[in-house]
Amino acid sequence: MVVSEEVFWLLDVSYDVVNGVPEVRLWGISEAGERIVVIDKSFRPYFYVLPAGEKITDELLRSLQTSLSKIKVLSLERVEKKYFGKPVEVVKITLSDPRSVPEAREAAAKAKGVKEVLEADIRFYMRYMVDNDVRPSAWHSVKVKEAEKPRVWRVDRVFEAVTPPEPVEEQRLPGLKVYAFDIECYNKFGEPDPERDNIVLISRATRNGIETFEAEDKNDSRLIREFVDDLLEEDPDVIVGYNSNRFDWPYILTRARKNGVKLDIARSTGEPAQSVYGHYSIVGRANMDLYDYASEIPEVKMKTLENIVDYLGLVKKEERTLIDPMLVYQYWDNPSQRDVLRRYNRDDALSTYRLAEAVLPFAIQLSSLVGLPLDQVFAASVGNRVEWHLIRKAYSFNELVPNSKERPLETYAGAIVLKPEPGIHENIAVLDFSSMYPNIMIKYNVSPDTYVPPDLEVDPEEVNIAPGVGHRFRKSPKGFYSKVLEDLLEARRKIREQMKKLDPDSDTFRLLDERQKAIKVVTNATYGYSGWSVARWYMREVAESTTAWGRELIKTTLSRAKGLGLHVIYGDTDSLFLENDPKKVQELVDYVEKNLGFEIKVDKVYVKVFFTEAKKRYCGLLQDGRIDVVGLEAVRGDWAEISKEIQEKVIEIVLKEGDPWKAVDYVRKVIADLEANKIPAQKLVIWKTLSKSLDEYEVDAPHVRAAKIMASQGWRVGKGSKIGYIVVKGGEKVSEKALPFFMLKSLSDVDTEYYTKRQIIPAALRILEYFGIKEEHFYKGKKQSSLFDFA
């Protein structure tokens, strides 16, 4: 058979055992745009055994052979590796079938003379990619022979690899077909139940437009069939939803089963199946839940789809149809309102598609960097992403991968956070250390394999000693973390140099920009990983020492700043807020870089910045007119929307117009509108999540009382349910006045005094009390003062 070369972009990876032979299946897109599968039958599963003694003995080998006698073992061989930087001799056990690894691991662990079994928990297809430097979401070249395509596979061509693929450096992406979808379910009794409540609408958005599939009243059988047929016709590479792994896919699968419909949408045939990290795998395609991405955006507290796309500037709230999700059933039951529900569903699908367009380039680069397939990279935790990158680097360094273990959480002193100077400050520069923690780990060689235990005597000249905590790390050779971080920082530096030569509007520039962002994310997360209790390369002393050197660095920089006569008003982790005297600031930058050996730069300049007395709570006006809000109620999720709206407007007036009394006038008007029943009910809803089941609550908090009312009406509520309530008149305690928001009959029933005194005024005073404004000032006029009376 003719051997040829195929260049393809890897989209998904899976494996199966056919006639006793394991096959790694690489699902991809060829240079010609064909959807292909490359099958590699050459790889076999293996793991390592670490002996109890320093060397492997014949007795150990015989013991292993006896323990593994019922399992098909291809070989036992002695190999030289490193374990936490130290040379070790281990036994490499190679098996014929990946499915026998768990049994073999248990058997080997019981053999006499075995200290530890290592790398037996690395998934077969991931092991294959690590060993062969095959990267998901990247281009590869492979020598192949064309193979017969199984009739049921939904691809253009199938190949068998003659040799494993090799990476190809190409700065472009294939033309990915993206399919975004959203479902609406009947929910007359609260949280919809797939065993009881049907799907009423499914909308999808692709580059070919938007389609909506509709139930026949309470029958969703035809709707599901139409959805499956449409998906297969569109044949997407990437399927995206929002909260789809937690809700949409399990719901559709249950409804399909109840209707006798097979959700056969994989490229190898088969239904979506829950896999690692809780995501649903659809073989040959990348199924992504974009809620996983949104969950890592700290600036958005209520992570609804409309809030996320509005924050990212993709779809403004006022440009789309919005309804209360709890009232879907009412729109469905009323034929005259169904068109509003259709528009809402279609807008959700379109918003998801727009979000995918914005997020996919970054996801692709992150996937390629850390080695996790595209459908897993957001579903995995930050720690898991860092760990897979470290596993790949460990293989290249001939390092054994430690086992993951459950450990008790250990605390240690964190970063330094200075108490701010409350009030308004003008012309403030924010100095930011570039990758402070990674650079500390590199400079002081902080790594598990360089750590020197307290009871080990060593020449003080050979170690770096962490200030305050006394942990010691060898200066040489370079530690595992140090080498990994140096490689990452150097790769990012080269990319950014390359970007300087490119047109910022070019595809290559954008691709490289996403790449350097992915590198930055992994680099900065490595310190946190070292203190993650389930990390394979966990060591509390590493994390504790890194923050100790960080505190020392900030203190030294702070002392120098004061010596230069710079007024410092705040400091947090790796940033200092100080007066923007360009000459003195540059002197400070030069000192830090030349004398301390760390890069520091002016990250931003505030025209005005306002600090409360608390740490991590401030707001500032940037030079381009944007306003930063950090840690104040405006960016928290447990206040009514009216409170957030008021505080944001108060901040804007104070910072842009310099008149706190104008802000008071604004708040007075809102209070007047509230009392006149002019504030929409949706702005008064307070959302709170039930942290346990209703019968576990000993005290009726407002959201608990509202939940109990819902339960009495037949709604399904329990641990994890988000409860929205409005405080109405009647009763003495707030908890006695909480009513599920959808049960409010008239705005005249709202307890306006509660909202004025407990929501509106406190949110405003969080900013305005510094200017001498008190609660009573919202009810009567006072001397008008300018902002500069308080600066």
* Alpha carbon distance 223, 237 (integer Å): 22
Q: Cβ distance 353 to 180 under 8 Å?
A: yes
Q: What is the mean pLDDT of residues 649-657?
A: 90
Check pLDDT > 70 for residue 637. Answer: no
Q: Residue 412 has what pLDDT?
A: 81
CA atoms within 13 A on the CB side of 276: 17
Range in 176-180, 363-367, 542-546, 654-658 the model is least confident about? 654-658
Residue range 271-298, pLDDT digits in tens: 999 999 999 999 999 999 999 999 998 8
Task: Identify the band that residue 171 occupies on the pLDDT scale cut at 50, 70 and 90.
Answer: confident
Check pLDDT > 80 for residue 634. Answer: no
Q: Residue 636 has what pLDDT?
A: 56
Q: Residue 638 has what pLDDT?
A: 67
Q: Which residues, at least 6 apart from 517, have a Cβ–Cβ distance to it below 8 Å?
A: 362, 365
Q: Cβ distance 6 to 145 under 8 Å?
A: no
* Alpha carbon distance 58, 381 (integer Å): 42
* Alpha carbon distance 534, 409 (integer Å): 9
Residue range 205-261, pLDDT digits in tens: 999 999 999 999 889 999 999 999 999 999 999 999 999 999 999 999 999 999 999
* Alpha carbon distance 392, 128 (integer Å): 11
* Alpha carbon distance 318, 308 (integer Å): 14
* CA-closest candidate to residue 49, choices 94, 4, 98, 103: 94
601: which DSSP letter?
A: E
Q: What are the structural domains, with CATH classification, of the chain? A: 3-42+135-167 (2.40.50.730), 46-121 (3.30.342.10), 178-370 (3.30.420.10), 404-476+536-621 (3.90.1600.10), 637-789 (1.10.132.60)
Structural tokens at position 305: 């789809």
Task: Identify the band that residue 183 occupies on the pLDDT scale cut at 50, 70 and 90.
Answer: very high
* Alpha carbon distance 7, 409 (integer Å): 47
* Alpha carbon distance 791, 783 (integer Å): 17
DSSP 196-236: TPPEEEEEEEETTEEEEEE-BTTB-HHHHHHHHHHHHHH--
Could you give phi then psi for residue 73, rounded to 5 degrees?
-100, 130
Helix (H) or strand (E) holding 90: strand 86-95
Check pLDDT > 80 for residue 716. Answer: no
Per DSSP bridges, beta strands 86-95 and 46-51 are antiparallel
Winning range, highest mean pLDDT, from 244-253, 620-629, 765-774 = 244-253
The residue behind tokens 């297809």 is 125
Structural tokens at position 538: 């966990």
SS3 185: strand
Check pLDDT > 60 for residue 790. Answer: no
Task: Identify the band that residue 789 occupies on the pLDDT scale cut at 50, 70 and 90.
Answer: very low
* Alpha carbon distance 680, 691 (integer Å): 28
Check pLDDT > 90 for residue 66. Answer: yes
Range in 46-50, 140-144, 216-220, 764-768 the model is least confident about? 764-768
Check pLDDT > 80 for residue 194. Answer: yes
In Å, the largest CA–CA distance within the chain is: 93
Q: Residue 780 has what pLDDT?
A: 67
Between CA 738 and CA 746, with CA 742 as vertex, the angle to 5 degrees is 80
Please confirm whether the linkage preceding 454 is cis (ω < 30° from 0).
Answer: no
Q: What is the mean pLDDT of residues 381-391?
A: 97
Check pLDDT > 60 for residue 612. Answer: yes
CB neighbourhood size of 561 (10 A): 23
Check pLDDT > 70 for residue 494. Answer: yes
Q: Which residues, at least 6 apart from 654, have a Cβ–Cβ distance to it below 8 Å?
A: 424, 610, 660, 663, 767, 768, 787
3-state secondary structure 264-328: CCCCCCCCCEECHHHCEECCCCEEEECHHHHCCCCCCCCCCHHHHHHHCCCCCHHHCCCCCHHHH
Check pLDDT > 80 for residue 787. Answer: no
* Alpha carbon distance 790, 773 (integer Å): 11
3-state secondary structure 105-159: HHHHHCCCCEEEEECCCCCHHHHHHHHHCCCCCCEEEEEEEEECCCCCCCCCEEE
Check pLDDT > 80 for residue 734. Answer: yes
The amino acid occupying position 340 is V
